[in-house]
Amino acid sequence: MLDELQVRPGEPARLAERETKSRLGLGEKSDGYARLAELQEQLRELQAHLFGESRRSVLLILQGMDSSGKDSTIRRVFEGVNPQGVWVRGFGRPEEAELARDYLWRVHRDVPRRGKIGIFNRSHYEDVGVVRVKELVPPEVWQRRYHHIREFERLLTDEGTRVLKVWLHISHEEQRARLQRRIDDPERNWKFEPEDIEARRDWPLYQAAYEEAITETSTDWAPWYVIPADRRWARDVAIAQLLVDTLTEMDPQLPPADPRLQGITIP
């Protein structure tokens, strides 16, 4: 399933041709939830080993349009995982201290420690996404960032962080329904910002910017996955599977027991 969702390095991302509503061959919603529960169990165990090993880390980067489900993915996929082993960081509009440095400064400062799974809710991709669409810097500035980003992610990988990048792919219509719910449902009102309407108006510009960013930065060491996200359960299963497959391949090992433990009985 994940093979098809990966953007092959060197090939165009072609977002418009990718599905948003796929069931990923998982059957009904109830089948999806059953699968998710199994994957959560595996993730819990693998994460405990990563934490015990404390030599490497995983960084999951989540990007997507407003209401694509970045928050709920984090809430659902990591249900039951030891919170001590997870590190979540959201990147909103840069603050003064962040604008006073290069755009990667705030990102690099917050990468996960060894032993942890770090989750970025938005990331340095905003610096070639919203920054491009809103023309916050001239084209020659954001264009050269692809090169920085590829090399930055190479550095992280070389030093023991597995970098996984996910584009939560929703349709224009699904976004309409979700934003409307934010207006209609008092429990969700707080999530609505008038700027969301502006970003929705610029939908084609954002899609084009991300399509290019994904194409330019899907590498062998830090590939992009375009995850169909109109159905929340299919989205969650795909991302849980991505984490489980990655951690299984990493095969984190608990440190060997101290030989002095042999035969000790606590008095």
> What is the contact surface with ligand ADP in residues (CB under 6 A)?
90-94, 122, 126-127, 130-131
32 by Cβ neighbours in 10 Å (0-12 / 13-18 / 19+) ranks as buried
Structure tokens at 132: 């491009």
CB-based contacts of 91, cutoff 8 Å, min separation 6: 106, 107, 120, 121, 122, 123, 124, 126
At its nearest, how many Å lie between ligand ADP and the CB of residue 123? 8
Minimum CB distance to ligand ADP, residue 75 (Å) = 13
Q: Which sign does the torsion angle of CA 230, 83, 190, 99 carry?
A: negative
**Nearest approach, Cβ of residue 258 and ligand ADP (Å):** 45
Q: Which is nearer to ligand ADP, 93 or 260 (CB)?
A: 93
Minimum distance from residue 34 beta carbon to ligand ADP (Å): 30
Whether 226 and 15 have beta carbons less than 8 Å apart is answered as yes
Q: Between residues 56 and 181, which has the closer beta carbon with respect to ligand ADP?
A: 181
For ligand ADP, the closer of residues 47 and 73 by Cβ is 73
**Maximum C-alpha span of the chain:** 70
Euclidean distance between CA atoms 143 and 137, whole angstroms: 10
- Our CB check for ligand ADP shows the closer of 170 and 247 to be 170
In the bound complex, what is the minimum distance in angstroms from residue 267's beta carbon to ligand ADP?
A: 54
- The DSSP code for 14 is -
Query: CA 72, CA 50: separation in Å to the nearest integer?
Result: 24
Q: How far is the CB of 99 from ligand ADP (least distance, A)?
A: 9
Q: Which amino acid is at 31?
A: D
Closest-by-Cβ residue to ligand ADP is: 92
Residue closer to ligand ADP (CB basis): 40 or 121: 121
Three-class DSSP category at 49? helix
Residue 94 beta carbon to ligand ADP: minimum distance, rounded to whole angstroms: 5
Which lies closer to ligand ADP via its Cβ, residue 22 or residue 216? Answer: 216
Query: Looking at beta carbons only, is 23 or 191 nearer to ligand ADP?
Result: 191
Beta carbons of 58 and 162 less than 8 angstroms apart:
yes
Neighbouring CB atoms inside 10 A of 248's CB total 11
Q: Which two tokens stand for residue 28?
A: 């009904």
